[in-house]
Chain A
Amino acid sequence: MTELLHEISVPPTRVSGRRWVFLRRVVATPGGSAGLAVLLLLVGSALFADLVAPYSPIKMGVGKRFLPPSLAFPMGTDEFGRDVFSRILFGSRLTLMIGAIAVGISMSAGLVIGLVAAYRGGWIEKVLMRTTDMLLSFTETLIALACVAVLGPSLANAMIAVGIAGIPLYARTCHSAALVERSKPYFEASVAAGAGHCRLIVLHLLPNILPTMIVVATLGISSAILAAAALSFLGLGAQPPQPEWGAMLSGARDYLNRGPWLMAVPGLAIAVTVLGFNLLGDAVRTALDPREAGE
């Protein structure tokens, strides 16, 4: 995440009027189209899991235990004779939900904190941003762990924990983007024209920092998914029999020898998903940042 911060501190916000050009630029890069393809695949399998999945994701004994991948069971069966392919398909729902909810929490709280700090300035800004910096230095892992320690292990709590852990990054990015906008002539003109607080924040600041925040969110989904999967892997997130990929991986630890595919498949699913969002985020950022694009 340090790296994320470092790189995101640069992007400007000059895209608003050219959204379609921007989208085309995202898809034009190999990384961008690959990322978009992964995203579509993920959304597709989440939407159509009921139709595509050959078996129930939690029904035990649909096949023998530890069947290696075959035509009947494309990804084999696990220690309870459940179909791994079906579990992976249904797991994509959980993964998307985790990403969306966690980023939603980080984004909404981060926007409020960042905007208030940048708009009000003074001691409010100092306190908010100092706290944010402090939390940033403690890393998301520690904050997420502390949240889970308070709330107790469950998938919902893991999502909340990852969401809370992400707030400092979003607040910091939103704050610096809003500061840039606040110093621009159009903003000063609106202040001079007597625009109210709400108008200034909602109609002027918010739309102009949104492109920057979208980059953070796209990259943030991948780290949120990764963090939540790590919590589930540690047993602090999704609980059995939920077909969550991190939890599946955790269950596979005891069967490294008997069913290596049990470990390979969910790990690959997480890696491909995270890679997809990372590629997409990189493409979005490059499309937004002409300095990098102008190569």
Chain B
Amino acid sequence: MWFFILGRLAMAFLTILATTVAVTLLIHLVPGDPVQIMYAQSQGTTPEQIEAIRHGLGLDQPIYVQYASYLWRLAHGDLGYTIRGHQPVLDVILQRLPNTLALAAAAMVVAIAIGLPVGFMAAWRRGSWLDTALMAGAIAGISIPGFWLGLLLLLVFAVDLGWFPVSGTGPANLVLPAVTLGLSNAAVIARMTRSSMIDTMRQDFVRTAEAKGLPKATILRRHVLRAGLVPIVTMIGLQFAFMMGGAIVVENIFSWNGVGRMAIEAIFQRDYPVIQGFILAFATVVVAVSLIVDVIYALVDPRIRRS
């Protein structure tokens, strides 16, 4: 078990390290001079100032020196300063990251609360009209763009009915974005749950249970649900990354003050230190979550940690 966890930890560390390389290279892939592009929006920068900024960002040094100093600063919790406003990037991100995590977590609750029962019902009554209807709903849910769903909910529940605030960052503001993000992912979880349950129902041990004459409800509860839930837990864990990705769009609809909204603003303003910090933060969250999921999976299913 410890060997397994150590292996996963090493993988996670390597992934983050690879991300730091990508993030350092990012600024050099920009067509043209990144410093000029970054400061194109602020007036009155003289060539001397541009050179001073270039030096300040270390962009006049060989790339391996840049990378080494990036790592060094990173180890000291320094992600650089924002181009607009000159604030520490780490502070800006840490201030907003909890909002994004809260949104993703709330959306996950919505997605699981709807997706799991729907998928389970569809698998249980599979081939029936209920299954067809639920799965038709699920494929519609996958196809409806999250940003459109968000606007629809905004129009109906915030603008017309006035039940929820239109924009902002607070507990009441969380409802609509969480439902928007949750519903799209509920459809995905419902489909995964259904196929995992159906796979489990085909297993020999389920046939044995049926042959023993156990009541159908008992088979479902004791055998199918228990065995079928294990892969679903992993898939839901992976889904978290997609939740974070979806949050970027949803935050922008509802003006939710998270890292996604920050990232889009940074892309518009060409604020590369913020973009770099965002990518690194996003990757770290995703890696951490999948590490936790892997460990839980190994705890639940001994076959995994022995393989």
Contact = CB atoms under 8 A, between A and B. Distances in A.
Interface string A3-41: 100110000000000000000000000010000000000
B252 interface: yes
A275 to B, nearest CB: 4
Interface stretch (B60-68, B170-178, B211-219, B281-289): B281-289
B283 A138 contact: yes
A252 B195 CA distance: 38
Contacts of A153: 267-268
A137 B15 contact: yes
Interface in A237-265: 246, 249, 252-253, 256-257, 260, 263
Chain A interface helix/strand/loop/mixed? helix
Nearest to A282: B139
Interface string B117-148: 00000000011000000000001101111111
Nearest to A231: B249
A233 B147 contact: yes
B152 interface: yes
Interface in A205-262: 222, 226, 229-230, 233-236, 246, 249, 252-253, 256-257, 260
Given A149-B26, A234-B249, A234-B264, A138 B235 contact: no
A278 B188 CA distance: 12
Nearest to B23: A146
A134 interface: yes
B6 interface: no
Given A134-B18, A233-B249, A257-B159, A145 B263 contact: yes
B244 A139 contact: yes
A139 B287 CA distance: 11
Contact of A267 (B140, B151, B287): B151
Interface residues of B, number: 53
A2 B235 contact: yes
A249 B148 contact: yes
A3 B191 contact: yes
Contacts of B239: 2
Contact of B192 (A3, A148, A222, A278): A3
B146 to A, nearest CB: 8
Interface string A130-150: 010010011111100110111
Interface string B232-251: 00010011011011101100
Interface in A86-138: 131, 134, 137-138
Nearest to A142: B282
B155 interface: yes
A230 B30 CA distance: 22
B172 to A, nearest CB: 19
B279 interface: yes
Interface string A142-169: 1001101111110000000000000000
A271 interface: yes
Given A138-B286, A150-B30, A267 B152 contact: yes
Given A235-B268, A278-B143, 10 more contacts: A2-B242, A137-B15, A137-B290, A138-B286, A151-B31, A252-B151, A256-B155, A263-B152, A271-B143, A295-B126
Interface of B: 15, 18-19, 22, 26, 29-31, 126-127, 139-140, 142-148, 151-152, 154-155, 159, 188, 191-192, 195, 235, 238-239, 241-242, 244-246, 248-249, 252-253, 263-264, 266-268, 272, 275, 279, 282-283, 286-287, 290
12 contacts: A139-B242, A142-B245, A145-B248, A149-B26, A152-B31, A230-B146, A230-B249, A260-B155, A267-B145, A271-B145, A271-B148, A274-B144
